[in-house]
Structure 1
Amino acid sequence: MHIALTSRPSPLLLALAAAYPGLATAAAAARVDFAVGNVVALGAAGSTRPLSKGAEVQPGETVSTRDGRAQLRFSDGSLVSLQPQSDFRVDSYRYAGQADGSEQGFFSLLKGGMRTITGLIGRTNKDNYRVTTNVATIGIRGTEYSITYGDGITVSTGEGQVMVCNGGGCLLLSSGESALVTTPTSQPSRTEARTNLPPAPPSVSPQVFFASGEQRSGNGTPTLNSPLLPSGEGYNFHWAGVKSGNPYITYFGDTNAGFGSDGSLSTVAVGVLNYSAQGNGFYFTDGTIGWGRWSSGVLTGDGPSDQALKDVHYVVGKPTPTNDPVFSSSGTSTYNMLGFTMPTSTTGVVGTQAVTGQLSVNFSTYQVGVNMTVPIGGKTYVITDTASWSYGVFSSGGFICGGACTNGQLSGFFAGSGASHAGLTYQFLDNLPGTDLGKISGAAVFKK
């Protein structure tokens, strides 16, 4: 099976390193941004070598994550994150520094799961990019999407469009849509289920960003004298809001974040995507993690035209290192709410009362229990959910908010030494019954 994307070109490859010394003279397809665990590169002749940060991946090699995971950065600007127990092969790759028609990125996901942000390959000619699986092929026009094996494969589009094709036909997926393909000849079908693939965590020290404040509560309340977060690479960026008129929630690891002199988050770059604030509803940081809301903004690099952003609720920061002892500990910890954004709805309603809640983290079972109350528009919605976490990043694609909605999503991450902080964004994807609120977004930050 193969999958084709159609929104913003970029090879979706994970971690492959140079398996043959003799290939050193060939142009590398990618470098390893991050590798943890027993990640190796397999050469076509059967050679095996371990992969670590900075290693090159050559065309023809397969990256096998085994019990680990990896993130690859390709020369055309695309990023590929591989989940544990994944095999990802770079079948053919050519990129001479510009999209002149000779570029090519053909890949195979043999097992496991991956998430990618596409780059310049496929932007001009979508036939120059594809990812093949055992039941379908995926092509692009430029996008962010993920694939996971299960009963066949599930493909979910974050931004842009992908085309999923096999012997049963083709299906075009737009932002926020998913497809299930079970056999090489069964027609791809739309599904409400989404892939659940937390991004590979960056390998840098913990550090989070944000600047001045909106609402905060609980012990350890930040002050305006808290240290500001510095501009630079290695930040996690989770956001929920409206993109091009449609509700949207997504997250990225290993981004380059830019902050103003007052500490406000102004830009986020990841691959060929560039987020820029145009209006700051508010911003806050305690020196470890940050949260805020852009009243408006713009996203470039996602297709041929700019994408307008509205009410972008975000949490951002450098995640807790994966080798922090807390991730190999046992027992549970309670996180009290440190701060939040006032929730907003797609109909223009803004919350006026405090969001409250706690997180209960089980370090033995890798689960995060979420309990929050979200008041808005005269209603109070209760989020009760259990999200799984891996390498410090957690997400859930189907929480129920007090019986009022049945299709909510959230994503978050840990920050600070010992996972001292956690931040998340959330979105109610149902049009809430009995209200004119439309769909609701927000962000919250917690401290142990």
Structure 2
Amino acid sequence: MHIALTSRPSPLLLALAAAYPGLATAAAAARVDFAVGNVVALGAAGSTRPLSKGAEVQPGETVSTRDGRAQLRFSDGSLVSLQPQSDFRVDSYRYAGQADGSEQGFFSLLKGGMRTITGLIGRTNKDNYRVTTNVATIGIRGTEYSITYGDGITVSTGEGQVMVCNGGGCLLLSSGESALVTTPTSQPSRTEARTNLPPAPPSVSPQVFFASGETRTANGSPSLQAPAMVGGSGYDLYWSGTKDGSPYMAFTSNGQAAFGADGSLATLQSGTYTYTAQGNSFYFTDGVVGWGRWSNATLANSSTSTTAALSNVHYVVGTPTPLSDPALSGTTVATYGLLGFTLPTSSTGVVGTQAVTGKLTVSFADYSVGLNLTVPIGGKSYAINDTLSLIYGNQISGPTICGGSCTAGSIIGFLAGSGASHAGLTYQFLDNLPGTDLGKISGAAVFKK
């Protein structure tokens, strides 16, 4: 079943400093969210100590993953996930709990691969943040990017922008773009090749990468995730974006899904409809729900022999909570924290650069869903405070209500996982705030109990 929603109304990083006030005052630069394998910290004087979950990492130390993997959570809210055979050094780090100009985060990736979601350091003063490699220095203009060593280094941007600089010049990379740098004096050049960060093997716990905090926003990519989702039948797909140049929303139930080697959703077929990804700007999964944004995709309908062009498709995908699950027939009120999101995009080409925040509650007694979501984009901010409906036992639907700052909006989604552990939503609404007209704004968000 494939159901589309057009522009008519119809009857998703938490604030980092607020979410982790305790970390802001910690003396350490970071704590280990998770470590798998023989992960150690190397001191500047040559000392070595093992790292496990909860261990502190101090300025001046190098985290060496050897045959393992590690995720670090810094006091400004940033996350760094390290691949096997990686050495990552904290050169200098200062953060006093707020971005007051004195904050600083200077790091070095000496070998291996990493992906990071940046925090508050560098948000106001870009010069306060950098990652140095042996051939280039990376500065931020956005939120998420990755680096791998190979023939030099490859840098790929997931969301936002990064600046890659060396003796040969500087190159600004926007969402979905990559660069190759081969020597310290060769000019950074664009490349179609993405950073090669293989996903963790299936034996790794689902809590390994960016899913360790129950209410922590995860804006990473599949190579930083729990085990990749397994292709097969029974998948629901909800999305918002652009179809043949016009804003559009749709969902497909009980589809056959296939996932790429990197963990992203590659295709989904349901009935006569087949979705095929052409380009991934961002993707993530915690093993239960997947979410991301296709920069481009196609939607083919075999019954009419037609194919539509899709762009900026924000999606959530997963197997819905079975209707036989006792949670769906209970009388409790469940509270969900924001697990992840995509940065919103507008039909006029604007991409958000700040964190979406929010929470969700589900009352299984009266089938109502309370949503509080703040969506910043283009210098504006939209506060969505809706009471939605839980329909057919496990689907979420309702109009987007922004208190007059938006109109003609819809929200669609579903409950997923045993005990309705997750909720995934996509949204779309029309900008109604004064100033530059952003047109229709689309995005996706995932919540977890």
Normalised-by-shorter TM-score class: 0.5 to 0.7
Deviation of 1:173 after TM superposition, in Å, equals 1.4
- How do 1:21-60 residues align onto structure 2 when only pairs under 5 Å count? 27-60=27-60
Partner of 1:243: none
Per-residue displacement from partner, 1:117-156 (whole Å, max 9, x unpaired)? 1122222321111110011001124421111111111111
Partners of 1:344 and 1:154 in 2: CA distance: 31
Per-residue displacement from partner, 1:177-223 (whole Å, max 9, x unpaired)? 2211111111111222222436779x9976xxxxxxxxxxxxxxxxx
- How do 1:234-245 residues align onto structure 2 when only pairs under 5 Å count? none
Would you say the 8 A contact 2:77–2:120 is kept in 1? yes
Partner of 1:438: 310
Q: Secondary structure at the match of 1:253?
A: coil
Partners of 1:334 and 1:166 in 2: CA distance: 41
2:221 corresponds to 1:269: no
Structure-1-length-normalised TM-score: 0.53
2:256 corresponds to 1:357: yes
Distance 1:200 1:120, change over 3 A: farther
Deviation of 1:79 after TM superposition, in Å, equals 1.1
2:277 corresponds to 1:381: no
For this pair of structures, how many residues does the alignment match?
283
Q: Secondary structure at the match of 1:127?
A: helix
Distance 1:36 1:431, change over 3 A: closer
Partners of 1:168 and 1:370 in 2: CA distance: 37
Partners of 2:92 and 2:39 in 1: CA distance: 21
Partners of 1:360 and 1:120 in 2: CA distance: 33
Deviation of 1:98 after TM superposition, in Å, equals 2.4
Partners of 2:104 and 2:143 in 1: CA distance: 16
Q: Secondary structure at the match of 1:85?
A: coil
Partners of 1:98 and 1:126 in 2: CA distance: 15
**Could you tell me which of 203, 213, 233 is aligned with 1:337?**
233
Would you say the 8 A contact 1:32–1:51 is kept in 2? yes
Q: Secondary structure at the match of 2:159?
A: strand
Distance 1:66 1:151, change over 3 A: same
Partner of 1:253: 211
Partner of 1:288: none
Would you say the 8 A contact 2:153–2:181 is kept in 1? yes
Per-residue displacement from partner, 1:33-58 (whole Å, max 9, x unpaired)? 11110001111121111111111111
Partner of 1:132: 132
Distance 1:104 1:344, change over 3 A: closer
Distance 1:129 1:165, change over 3 A: same
Partners of 2:112 and 2:284 in 1: CA distance: 22
Partners of 2:123 and 2:51 in 1: CA distance: 29
Q: Which amino acid aligns with 1:357?
A: Q
Deviation of 1:175 after TM superposition, in Å, equals 2.1
Partners of 1:425 and 1:42 in 2: CA distance: 36
Per-residue displacement from partner, 1:336-388 (whole Å, max 9, x unpaired)? 42330245541334457645225699xxxx99898854369xx7436xxxxxx
* Cα RMSD (Å): 4.2
Q: Secondary structure at the match of 1:190?
A: strand
Percent identity of paired positions between Structure 1 and Structure 2: 65
2:247 corresponds to 1:348: yes
Would you say the 8 A contact 2:34–2:208 is kept in 1? no
Partners of 1:367 and 1:204 in 2: CA distance: 15
Distance 1:336 1:413, change over 3 A: same
- How do 1:266-345 residues align onto structure 2 when only pairs under 5 Å count? 269-270=217-218, 336-345=232-241
- How do 1:46-445 residues align onto structure 2 when only pairs under 5 Å count? 46-197=46-197, 252-257=210-215, 269-270=217-218, 336-346=232-242, 347-351=246-250, 354=253, 356-357=255-256, 372-374=267-269, 380-381=273-274, 401=276, 406-407=278-279, 411=283, 413=285, 415=287, 423-425=289-291, 428-430=294-296, 432=298, 435-439=307-311, 440=313, 442-445=315-318
Partners of 1:142 and 1:334 in 2: CA distance: 31
Distance 1:414 1:174, change over 3 A: closer
Per-residue displacement from partner, 1:251-304 (whole Å, max 9, x unpaired)? x533433xxxxxxxxxx6359x9xxxxxxxxxxxxxxxxxxxxxxxxxxxxxxx
Q: Which amino acid aligns with 2:269?
A: V
Partners of 2:239 and 2:94 in 1: CA distance: 45
Partner of 2:13: none
Q: Secondary structure at the match of 2:110?
A: strand
Deviation of 1:96 after TM superposition, in Å, equals 2.2
Partners of 1:83 and 1:50 in 2: CA distance: 17
Q: Secondary structure at the match of 2:247?
A: coil
Partner of 1:247: none
Would you say the 8 A contact 1:167–1:184 is kept in 2? yes
Q: Which amino acid aligns with 1:269?
A: T
Q: Which amino acid aligns with 2:53?
A: K
Partners of 2:172 and 2:74 in 1: CA distance: 25
Partners of 1:340 and 1:134 in 2: CA distance: 44
Deviation of 1:438 after TM superposition, in Å, equals 2.7
Per-residue displacement from partner, 1:4-31 (whole Å, max 9, x unpaired)? xxxxxx9xxxxxxxxxxxxxxx932111
Distance 1:360 1:181, change over 3 A: closer
Partners of 1:161 and 1:91 in 2: CA distance: 23
The answer for unaligned runs of 5 or more in structure 2 is: 1-15, 17-25, 300-305, 321-449
Q: Which amino acid aligns with 2:255?
A: T
Partners of 1:182 and 1:163 in 2: CA distance: 16
